[in-house]
């Protein structure tokens, strides 16, 4: 077993987009087995047309196998990525085979256990599609209630066999945290078991629609959390991290990872048109201040005016440990990095809460955490912890290329899946030290000018940190004009991956909101790797770290917010995201003077009689 496979259960209602989303999870694989469970013997023309449409949607990579022996087919090829679509039709077929609709007495526990065992034995990425109980159309009859009870049991068992469970509602995706409660369905009451119309097997099967329509829009697979609704606070304000799993054969080639193509700037002609539109809206020109500038920038990045709404923003938190942290430069011990990675993965960090409010997905990537993390987090892992930058290179040149390639690949994956705005975050105890070294080396500042308190070190910690930055800068100066060597010397794997991510986003013409010191320090190197990349970025906020303002000045960026923040994780950038979204909304939804029938500004001289 590779240790990198991810088993995902995708739940949703009829025509929710669950199948399209499930297929997107395996989009990078060269070969996919498609286990289709929908019956082609039905007399329902609409059902048969839907199955045919799904078959046409599958490209040459897909090997379609129509079967109800799911456990057998999974065991037959455990090393080939597979999608099962869907469990509801499989369940219907198994109840049919056992004659359970009439008797209402059917025991599928052994078959469900066998299916789950086969799922756990998969060595390749696996996606299972199923309808969530209550979201599919099932008649309120004894047979319908039997189907719902069995489906609830089946979904709960499969969820336990999977690494990840996603719920698709109205084209939006919510990754569900693992629950600690008993997920078995509550037995029906006597009233619920009362006789009613008996539905036929065909009706149950047809109402249990397996997939989204073939013409589902791209936004149907948007990996963003569902909007906040009434319910427990945790359900409203958290979004768990989304894995970026890849098969080992899909890892990026690090050869020449530091060589980027020329960056095309945002469209100046569109920017001019956007400024004219701003002046035509029902407000005095410039009265919305910076909001107008941001709207123009997004329009220029998208190459259209008015700009399209930002519907699929994505946050990636790059995690890594640093050897210098063992020198007492942080208020927290290094093991906190791995603990916080787990917290982000399960939706408990500040970035998760803020992202849920802004409608952004969150992905956490282990680049160099000094611990073993889950396989789907460590797909791109370069090493365990970077070395101590005070005395030796943080990583080797080969590791720097691998980290750069990883950052570029992650950006490509997100852009290819439809993400329309990216945010980089970071998690790593002691990472403000290498970040400050980068800023100091590139701007030729003295350590005492740029060192900050980071996670809140005391005076003695501040002195140790200043000395570490001094030693790191002394080593960095030798390679300051070689971005790759500079990242290897003092950056570490996580900051190097961030630099690749930011530069590749610019190459792919995708806007980015920068976070605080660590991300902005990596951005300085990214702009050296891909000159002109900075035009695709906006600074989300200004942190209290002294080096951050120096880095912003170096990149000629003005922060959107100043909230005295110094947390990291991407939190400041995510907090600025709703402002950027609002700037777009102003451009798209606010009426012009002509549309509203409002008189514009009168610049003609007043007709006043002069005595």
Residue 164, strand partner residues: 8
Could you confirm whether 569 is annotated as catalytic? yes
Sheet holding 537-541, edge to edge: 361-368, 313-320, 421-427, 512-514, 537-541, 559-561
Amino acid 532: pLDDT = 97
Query: Measured between alpha carbons, how far is residue 6 from residues 2, 61, 74, 162 in Å?
Result: 10, 19, 14, 8
H/E stretch holding 269 reads helix 268-280
Average pLDDT estimate for 333-343? 94
Amino acid 137: pLDDT = 57
Q: Please tell me what DSSP assigns to residue 225.
A: P
Q: Is 136 a residue whose pLDDT tops 60?
A: no
Closest CA to 420 of 497, 357, 512: 512
d(CA 64, CA 103): 34
Amino acid 269: pLDDT = 96
Output the average pLDDT for the chain.
83
Average pLDDT estimate for 200-218? 36
CB atoms within 10 A of CB 169: 18
Using one digit for the tens of pLDDT, what is the confidence trace for 287-335?
A: 999 999 999 999 999 999 999 999 999 999 999 999 998 888 887 889 9
Q: Looking at 73, 569, 595, 609, which residue is catalytic? A: 569
**Strands, E assignment, 463-576:** 512-514, 537-541, 559-561
Amino acid 550: pLDDT = 96
SS3 319: strand
Average pLDDT estimate for 181-192? 40
More confident of the two residues 190 and 411: 411
Amino acid 41: pLDDT = 52
**Strands, E assignment, 299-390:** 313-320, 361-368
Answer yes or no: are the C-beta atoms of 405 and 500 closer than 8 Å: yes
pLDDT band at 57 (very low <50, low <70, confident <90, very high): low
Amino acid 72: pLDDT = 92
d(CA 540, CA 544): 13
CB atoms within 10 A of CB 333: 12
pLDDT band at 197 (very low <50, low <70, confident <90, very high): very low
Residues 6+ away with beta carbon under 8 Å from 290: 558, 560
d(CA 349, CA 462): 26
Residues 6+ away with beta carbon under 8 Å from 185: 133, 149, 152, 153, 156
Using one digit for the tens of pLDDT, what is the confidence trace for 229-257?
A: 333 333 444 566 666 655 545 678 999 99
Query: Measured between alpha carbons, how far is residue 62 from residues 29, 59, 600 in Å?
Result: 10, 6, 58
Q: Is 577 a residue whose pLDDT tops 70?
A: yes
pTM over 0.75: no
Amino acid 543: pLDDT = 94
Residue 56 sits at φ, ψ, to 5 deg, of -70, -30
Amino acid 233: pLDDT = 38
Amino acid 152: pLDDT = 87
pLDDT band at 46 (very low <50, low <70, confident <90, very high): low
């Amino acid at each position: 077993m590779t240790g990198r496979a991810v088993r995902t259960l995708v739940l949703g209602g009829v025509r929710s987009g669950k199948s399209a989303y499930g297929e997107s999870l395996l989009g990078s694989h060269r070969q996919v087995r498609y286990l289709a469970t929908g019956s082609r013997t039905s007399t329902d023309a609409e059902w048969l047309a839907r199955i045919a449409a799904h078959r046409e949607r599958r490209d040459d990579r897909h090997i379609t196998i129509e079967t109800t022996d799911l456990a057998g087919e999974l065991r037959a090829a455990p090393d080939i990525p597979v999608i099962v679509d869907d469990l509801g039709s499989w369940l219907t077929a198994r109840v049919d085979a056992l004659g359970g609709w009439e008797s209402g007495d059917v025991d599928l526990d052994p078959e469900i256990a066998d299916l789950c065992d086969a799922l756990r034995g998969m060595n390749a990425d696996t996606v299972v599609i199923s309808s969530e109980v209550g979201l599919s159309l099932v008649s309120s009859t004894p047979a319908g209630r039997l189907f719902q009870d069995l489906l609830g049991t089946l979904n709960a068992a499969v969820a336990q066999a999977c690494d990840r469970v996603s719920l698709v509602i109205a084209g939006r995706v919510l990754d569900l945290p693992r629950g600690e409660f008993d997920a078995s369905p509550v037995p029906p009451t006597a009233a619920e078991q009362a006789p009613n119309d008996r539905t036929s097997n065909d009706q149950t099967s047809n109402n249990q629609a397996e997939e989204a329509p073939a013409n589902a829009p791209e936004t149907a697979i948007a990996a963003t959390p569902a909007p906040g609704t009434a319910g427990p606070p945790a359900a409203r304000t958290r979004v768990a991290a989304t894995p970026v799993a890849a098969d080992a054969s899909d890892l990026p080639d690090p050869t020449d990872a530091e060589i980027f193509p020329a960056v095309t700037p945002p469209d100046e002609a569109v920017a001019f048109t956007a400024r004219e539109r701003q002046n035509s809206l029902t407000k005095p020109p410039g009265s919305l201040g910076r909001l107008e500038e941001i709207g123009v920038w997004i329009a220029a990045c998208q190459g259209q005016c008015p700009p399209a709404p930002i519907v699929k923003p994505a946050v990636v938190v790059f995690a890594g440990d640093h050897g210098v942290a063992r020198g007492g430069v942080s208020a927290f011990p290094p093991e906190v990095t791995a603990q916080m990675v787990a917290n982000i993965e399960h939706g408990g960090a500040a970035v998760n809460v803020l992202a849920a409010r802004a409608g952004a997905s969150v992905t956490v990537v282990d680049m160099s955490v000094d611990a073993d993390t889950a396989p789907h987090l460590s797909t791109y892992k370069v090493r365990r912890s970077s070395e101590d930058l005070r005395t030796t290179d943080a990583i080797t040149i080969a590791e720097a290329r691998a980290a750069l390639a990883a950052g570029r690949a992650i950006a490509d994956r997100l852009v290819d899946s439809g993400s329309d705005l990216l945010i980089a975050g970071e998690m790593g105890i002691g990472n403000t030290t290498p970040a400050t070294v980068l800023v100091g080396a590139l701007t030729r500042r003295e350590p005492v000018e740029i060192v900050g308190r980071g996670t809140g070190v005391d005076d003695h910690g501040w002195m140790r940190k200043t000395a570490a930055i001094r030693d790191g800068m002394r080593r960095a100066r030798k390679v300051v004009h070689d971005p790759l060597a500079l990242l290897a010397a003092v950056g570490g794997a996580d900051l190097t991956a961030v630099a690749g991510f930011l530069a590749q986003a610019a190459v792919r013409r995708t806007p980015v909101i920068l976070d605080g010191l660590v991300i902005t320090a990596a951005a300085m190197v990214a702009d050296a790797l891909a000159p002109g990349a900075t035009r695709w970025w906006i600074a989300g906020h200004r942190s209290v770290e002294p080096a951050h303002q120096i880095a912003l000045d170096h990149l000629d960026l003005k922060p959107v917010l100043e909230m005295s923040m110094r947390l990291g994780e991407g939190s400041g950038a995510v907090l600025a995201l709703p402002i950027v979204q609002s700037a777009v909304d102003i451009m798209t939804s606010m009426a012009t003077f002509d549309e509203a029938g409002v008189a514009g500004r009168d610049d003609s001289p007043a007709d006043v009689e002069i005595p």
